Structure 1
Amino acid sequence: MFRALTMLILVAVGSTVALGKEPADTNYDEAKVPAYDLPDPLIDHAGQSVGREEWMMHRRGEVLRMFEESVYGKTPSQELSVRYEVMETDPNALGGRATRKQVAAFFGEDAYRIDILIYLPNAPEAPVAGFVGLNFNGNQTIHSDPGILDQGTGKERGSSASRWQVEEIIDRGYAVATIHRDQVDPDNYRNDFTDGIHPLFYREGQTKPEPTEWGSIGAWGWALSRVLDRLEMEPRVDATRMAVVGHSRLGKAALWAGAQDTRFAMVISNDSGCGGASLYRRCFGERIHHMIKPVGYWFCTNHHQYQHREDALPVDQHMLLALVSPRPLYVASATNDRWADPKGEFLAAKHASLVYELLGQPALTQEDFPAPGQPIHTTIGYHLREGDHDITAYDWEQYLRFADQHLSR
């Protein structure tokens, strides 16, 4: 019983930091960061330098496949049948500022259900841009709005409202859509891929993903694309101007979704850390072997072989960020979130700039790691915020400003 309780606490934040003690081998000393060479995103498997055309024609696909094989696993290409049912609509939500719509998506001959919560601003007449993201604890937690259907997670209505800033998003003229991550794939230490979306894709006799097939991050990313599918049906939404956003492990999922699905017009990673925006090879803060025991199911099984040998990975996370190019990308960090390696997140964004510049987009030109509260807003955005591992009103203000710059018409 004690072991089970302990594991649940670990999984609650994805690391042993939840218990107030970090692994003994955690490095927070820049002087102990090993010397490393990053894989060059612009050198292909044949050892040839690639230009703009070669990147688009074949090198991008090579990089994507390496992430499938060594980090997140391959997402099934099989399309499931889907039926949508509008469960509830209120055109006067949030004091008349928004229309709230709640849609149930039934996949695979109604075998699996995912509930989508959508808020649409009432003020703009033209179709609007917006944000798509997963939530941690149930749709009812993102706002105290009593009309949100309770998903039975046991989490209090509005308890995560600070992480969503729904009124600010609506008042700036953007839509927002969210789903609960556990409806897609339960995020718990017993995850054996039997009670989420995975079984709908198993071939006959299969009981778990193959070593190079998707884990939970892959499933969450897949679901973000399915929300975008539904938004393409909304006449008041311009689905060509939707940003995908995520915090922490859901920031990892947002990055992977944005890398795979180029329909997302902008990608935002908030404190996504190891396996997200930060460089593996720095071996700073959280590392692969810290994740594998409690949350190895986030990744494909093949990823486990790189414990204590990050330098053997054929990729690093600057290459994941480069897969977003030439679309706008925002990476954010927090000063107290050393576990996520803020400097490693900045450096990954900076090294991704090589591909952005190749594709004719201005990227990060700042050489030095910025001080807190000095956001950079080019085609790649970055900021370091004072404070803890969280997504806050300050973060959202930067994302909204960035959206105004890149998603407005």
Structure 2
Amino acid sequence: MRPLLILLILLLATVAQAQTPRPGVNYDEAKVGNDPLPDLKLTTAEDWTKTRRPEILKLFEDHVFGKTPTDIGTPKFEVTATKPDALGGLATRKFIHISLPNRPAWPGMDVMLYTPNATKSAPCFVGLSFGGNHAVSQETDVPLNTRWQRDNKEKNIVSNRATEASRGTESSRWPLELILKRGFAVATAYYGDIEPDHADGWKEGLRAAVSKDGANTDWKDGEWGAIGAWSWGLSRIADYLETDKQVDAKHLAVIGHSRLGKTSLWAGAQDERFGFVISNNSGEGGAALMRRDFGETTAIITKAFPHWFTPKYTSYANNAAACPIDMHMLIALAAPRPIYIASAVEDTWADPKGEFLSGKFASPVCALFGKKGIVADEPPAIDTPVGDFIGYHVRTGKHDVTDYDWTQYLNFATRHWAK
């Protein structure tokens, strides 16, 4: 057999394997759901700001993520270490411990902040990591996170704990030098510091610590899930950044990937200090339209990860039409701030087209403020960003965060914040 033919067969086999349907999951566009989307009910910019936006926000509290408590207490910030010559002198690195003095049952979270030394006060990307600060940075003096983590041979997580071999395993998703050289800062923390990501993780995390019933809490409809708790953590990072003179706290971008992309969308919806919202491969429960029933569905996600959401969301499993919201409304909640949605062509589980359509159908809200969203009717070609105040791309590759993604986010932020 000719070498070129062999190569073609191997390539086709790889693509087929990457998109092999899971049993009982729809990957056929001819079989997607066709229930009509809830109406955004747009009138004027003033009405959106004062009335309609708060109405939609409450719908997401009641039916999807739950309401974040407002009486948790005042956070305490302690800068535990500063390294002025981090990354070979490129940046200053700080560690900040955030705690709640009136909620001592919560161990708090450890934030890692890199600010570029070439910039006096830098705009900042804020996001949570899956592996911890030691996994984000390749600097070997970053403390090893000691909290619960899901076992992972590839990332050297053993007995639910990180090991020395876990260092730098998430660094490809956080290209620190690329970001810092563009004049941006980066603030991140391990999401498990806020709440460990398993069904009973809340009992050891923030939600139990702030509940009057502690680990005996019976979570009810409308009360927050893990995504709500993680989102709360992102806002507490923003609280600290407002006190740090090396950060331009008027230009904060919240970013997240996968389940943490759902988290960044919800954090951005609740906290308007995040002037730029980024969803990277957030899929079901994030940017993807739930009514399409393509790839992961509400039924699948609420069975596998019920602790992420308010209990009410489970009632929409196989019954999306009964839900008063869909995810184009979550995208719309960012307006009039810019928002960017990213998909990956091999990540069919996250429904790239459904993510695009959320941005498309949220775009009319931009017009209320004299801005443009996504005008295209169909998803763009691979690796071809589209949109203005709502941006979108579907890139080559799989479910991940890559330098290509970050380059688009940096370009988008630079373009909008230069205005």
Q: TM-score, normalised by structure 1?
A: 0.90
Partner of 2:155: none
Partner of 2:116: 121
Partner of 2:323: 313
Q: 1:145 to 1:285 in 2, by over 3 A?
A: same
Cα RMSD over matched residues?
1.7
Asked whether 1:83 is paired with 2:76, we answer yes
Partner of 1:141: 135
Residue identity matched to 1:154: A
Partner of 1:13: none
Of residues 395-404 and 207-216 in structure 1, the stretch that sits farther from structure 2 once superposed is 207-216
- The CA deviation string for residues 270-302 of structure 1, in whole angstroms up to 9 with x for no partner, is 000000000000110000111122211111101
Whole-Å Cα distance in 1 between the matches of residues 136 and 211 of structure 2? Answer: 33
Q: CA deviation at 1:21?
A: 8.0
Whole-Å Cα distance in 2 between the matches of residues 65 and 359 of structure 1? Answer: 22
Asked whether 1:40 is paired with 2:48, we answer no
Q: 1:286 to 1:276 in 2, by over 3 A?
A: same
Q: What secondary structure sits across from 2:125 in the alignment?
A: strand
Partner of 2:154: none
Q: What secondary structure sits across from 2:67 in the alignment?
A: coil
Q: What secondary structure sits across from 1:265 in the alignment?
A: strand
- The CA deviation string for residues 49-85 of structure 1, in whole angstroms up to 9 with x for no partner, is 6322211111111100100011111111114132222
Asked whether 1:347 is paired with 2:342, we answer no
Q: What secondary structure sits across from 2:162 in the alignment?
A: coil
Preserved CA contact (<8 Å) 1:23 1:290: no
Q: 1:204 to 1:289 in 2, by over 3 A?
A: closer
Whole-Å Cα distance in 1 between the matches of residues 167 and 26 of structure 2? Answer: 38
- The CA deviation string for residues 139-180 of structure 1, in whole angstroms up to 9 with x for no partner, is 100021122111134151111100000000110000000010
Whole-Å Cα distance in 2 between the matches of residues 382 and 160 of structure 1? Answer: 24
Whole-Å Cα distance in 2 between the matches of residues 255 and 144 of structure 1? Answer: 28
Preserved CA contact (<8 Å) 2:258 2:282: yes
Partner of 1:70: 63
Preserved CA contact (<8 Å) 1:117 1:179: yes
Q: What secondary structure sits across from 1:269 in the alignment?
A: strand
Preserved CA contact (<8 Å) 1:281 1:316: yes
Consecutive unaligned residues in structure 2, runs of 5 or more: 1-18, 147-160
- The CA deviation string for residues 351-405 of structure 1, in whole angstroms up to 9 with x for no partner, is 0001111222111111221110111141111000011000001101111111111
Of residues 192-201 and 323-332 in structure 1, the stretch that sits farther from structure 2 once superposed is 192-201
Alignment map for 1:184-195 (pairs within 5 Å): 184-188=194-198, 190-191=199-200, 193-195=202-204
Preserved CA contact (<8 Å) 1:373 1:383: yes
Whole-Å Cα distance in 2 between the matches of residues 56 and 293 of structure 1? Answer: 35
Residue identity matched to 1:191: D
Q: CA deviation at 1:108?
A: 3.5
Residue identity matched to 2:94: K
Whole-Å Cα distance in 2 between the matches of residues 359 and 38 of structure 1? Answer: 22
Partner of 1:282: 292
Q: Which of the numbers 100, 113, 128 marks the counterpart of 2:93?
A: 100
Q: CA deviation at 1:97?
A: 0.6
Residue identity matched to 1:117: M
Preserved CA contact (<8 Å) 1:193 1:209: no
Preserved CA contact (<8 Å) 1:269 1:330: yes
Q: What secondary structure sits across from 1:129 in the alignment?
A: strand
Q: CA deviation at 1:23?
A: 4.8
Alignment map for 1:173-192 (pairs within 5 Å): 173-188=183-198, 190-191=199-200
Q: CA deviation at 1:204?
A: 5.0
Whole-Å Cα distance in 2 between the matches of residues 123 and 55 of structure 1? Answer: 40
Q: TM-score, normalised by structure 2?
A: 0.88
- The CA deviation string for residues 175-204 of structure 1, in whole angstroms up to 9 with x for no partner, is 00001011111112x326211101232135
Whole-Å Cα distance in 1 between the matches of residues 111 and 125 of structure 2? Answer: 13
Partner of 2:144: 150
Preserved CA contact (<8 Å) 2:372 2:387: no
Consecutive unaligned residues in structure 1, runs of 5 or more: 1-19, 43-48
- The CA deviation string for residues 193-252 of structure 1, in whole angstroms up to 9 with x for no partner, is 211101232135761432211101100111000000000000111111010000000000
Residue identity matched to 1:380: I
Q: What number of residue pairs does the alignment pair up? A: 383
Of residues 354-363 and 259-268 in structure 1, the stretch that sits farther from structure 2 once superposed is 354-363
Q: What secondary structure sits across from 1:168 in the alignment?
A: helix
Alignment map for 1:251-400 (pairs within 5 Å): 251-400=261-410
Q: CA deviation at 1:22?
A: 6.0
